[in-house]
Amino acid sequence: MNKGSDGKTSQKMASQAYGQKMAKTANMKVVEGSYAVAHAVMCCLPDVISAYPITPQTHIVEHLSQMVADGELDSEFLTVDSEFSALSVLVGSSACGARCYSSTTSQGLALMYEVLYNVSGMRLPVVMNVANRAMGAPLNIWNDQQDAIGARDVGWLQIYAEDVQESVDATLQAYKIAEDSDIRLPIMVCMDGFILTHVYEPVELLDKDLAREFLPPYRPEYILDPKHPKTFGAFADPSTYTEFRYQQFEAQEKALDKIEKVAVEFEEVFGRYYGGLLDSYHAEDAEVVIVTLGSVIGTIKDAIDALRSEGKKVGLIKVRSYRPFPVKALRKSLKDASVIAVLEKDVSIGSEAGLLTDLKAALYNSQIRTPVIGFTAGLGGRDITIKDIRRLVDKAEAARKGIESEFEFLTLRKEIL
């Protein structure tokens, strides 16, 4: 089952299947990332869309609004006064049995914070694209992942996409995972703001009929219905509250298998596979393994190609599912590394950074005693270049002889401090 940690084979299989499928279904278009995702949402046939515009998410909901206005999509599109209202509307709609969609970023996600817990606590399978962006202050509209990583504990699943195609495909997969009767949890599909939302690249837009075949209609067991009254998210005192949290925890654990399963089912219909929980690139024989999330993977792959041609054994593990955190899959795919370097676009001010601490926690009780070092980079939209990755690899190689610094800001401009 653990296809994600066996990257080479799965990539080969996927590319073969992709090749066969392309001949039949290719609908490749050069479109903006936001349009591609909006198109994917349209194919999921949401009953209710509720969102508040915020850069760099705006284009996604703008496109959806246009689709509804043009009659291409039969959804209730609600314009609201804030992100807090946007998600609150979906609490009610989803409890009524509607398939619901929203999208936000950064300060908008922060404003939703209270409702994020309500959605997951009431077990409502809302899907939301997060166009990852830096948090203020200082005010900054560019990409990093502090927003979603900061919301890692709210009970939502979090999938991080590498490119536009994966953002599209993960959005469709997300509904299938979220609405499964064993899971019933909301999902954030995270895509890097601007880098993925505003880029124009060739994308195979989803086929509506295939999407319908892949994703069954949403039929929840219980809904809000005046004829059969129910209350969602009612009061729970100390004698039962723990058990509700446990149920959510259990559902996230079940999602580990479900994410893999849905990724495989997706491949059967659409011919594309990105790994379920993880994916890898030249990780099998790698001495230096970089672990990361999101769109920076493209740059890292190029850097790895260059480093490999120079004889350096560098590989990559891509964390696709950050919540649930794939502890077993990570242990399996990192067991042979000589040194592990985590690169992420977030920082936990006062500690290290989300992925780094989670990964170290995952390895601590295993037999793996590989040095792990972490780097934050790309904050507030600063570019991460191939040169930066080379520096990271140099530092990682040095750490094999002894760790000098467990965590650092990779591209810090010391001269302006």
Partner 1 sequence: MEIKAGRLVDPCSSQITKTGAWRTFVPVVDHKKCIKCSLCEIYCPEGCIHQEEGLFIPDLDYCKGCSVCAHECPQRAIIMILEEK
- The footprint of partner 1 (CB under 8 A) covers 121-124, 184, 222, 229-237, 240, 243-244, 247, 251
Q: In this complex, which beta carbon is closest to partner 1, that of residue 199 or of residue 224? A: 224
Contact 410, 388 (CB under 8 A): yes
Q: In sequence order, what are the beta bridge partners of 77?
A: 49
Which CB sits closer to partner 1, 95 or 134? 95
Smallest separation, CB 290 to partner 1 (Å): 38
Gap between the Cα atoms of 61 and 51, Å rounded: 7
Residue 141 CA: distances (Å) to CA of 12, 58, 106, 347: 38, 12, 8, 17
Closer to partner 1 by CB, 30 or 235: give it: 235
Concatenate the DSSP letters of all residues of 26-52 into one string: --EEEEEHHHHHHHHHHHT--SEEEE-
Nearer to partner 1, 227 or 413 (CB): 227
Residues in the chain: 417
Task: Look up residue 381 and give its two tokens.
Answer: 């939209």
Q: How far is the CB of 99 from partner 1 (least distance, A)?
A: 17
Nearest-approach distance from CB 184 to partner 1, in angstroms: 7
Residue 46 or residue 121: which is nearer to partner 1 going by CB?
121
Nearest-approach distance from CB 79 to partner 1, in angstroms: 28
Q: Which CB atom, from 122 or from 174, has the smaller least distance to partner 1?
A: 122
Q: Which residues pair with 204 in a beta bridge?
A: 28
Cβ nearer to partner 1, comparing 231 with 365:
231
Least distance to partner 1, CB of residue 155, Å: 11
Nearer to partner 1, 115 or 362 (CB): 115
* Nearest distance from C-beta of residue 237 to partner 1, angstroms: 7
Q: Which is nearer to partner 1, 200 or 222 (CB)?
A: 222
Q: Which residues of 19-51 are buried (b: 16+ CB within 10 A; e: fewer)?
A: eebeeeeeeeeebbbbbbbbbbbbbbbbbbbbb
> What's the token pair of residue 119?
């959605």
Q: Least separation, in Å, of the C-beta of 254 and partner 1?
A: 12
End-to-end CA separation in angstroms for the chain: 49
Q: Give the number of other CB atoms < 10 A from CB of residue 143.
A: 30
Report the distance separating Cα 164 and Cα 382, nearest Å.
20
Minimum Å gap between C-beta 49 and partner 1 is 22
Q: How far is the CB of 241 from partner 1 (least distance, A)?
A: 9
User: Minimum distance from CB of 96 to partner 1 (Å)?
Assistant: 13
**Cβ-Cβ contacts under 8 Å for 306 (sequence gap 6 or more):** 386, 390
User: In the complex with partner 1, which residue's Cβ is closer, 200 or 241?
Assistant: 241
Measured over the CA atoms of residue 69, residue 70, residue 76 and residue 77, the dihedral's sign is: negative
* Contact between 94 and 123 (Cβ < 8 Å): no
Torsion on CA atoms 242, 327, 155, 380, rounded to nearest 10 = 140
Shortest separation between residue 239's beta carbon and partner 1, angstroms: 9
Which CB sits closer to partner 1, 97 or 150?
97
Say how far apart CA 342 and CA 103 lie, in whole Å: 28
Quote the crossing angle between the two packed helices 113-121 and 83-95, to the nearest 10°: 10
Joined together, the tokens standing for residue 162 give: 């590498």
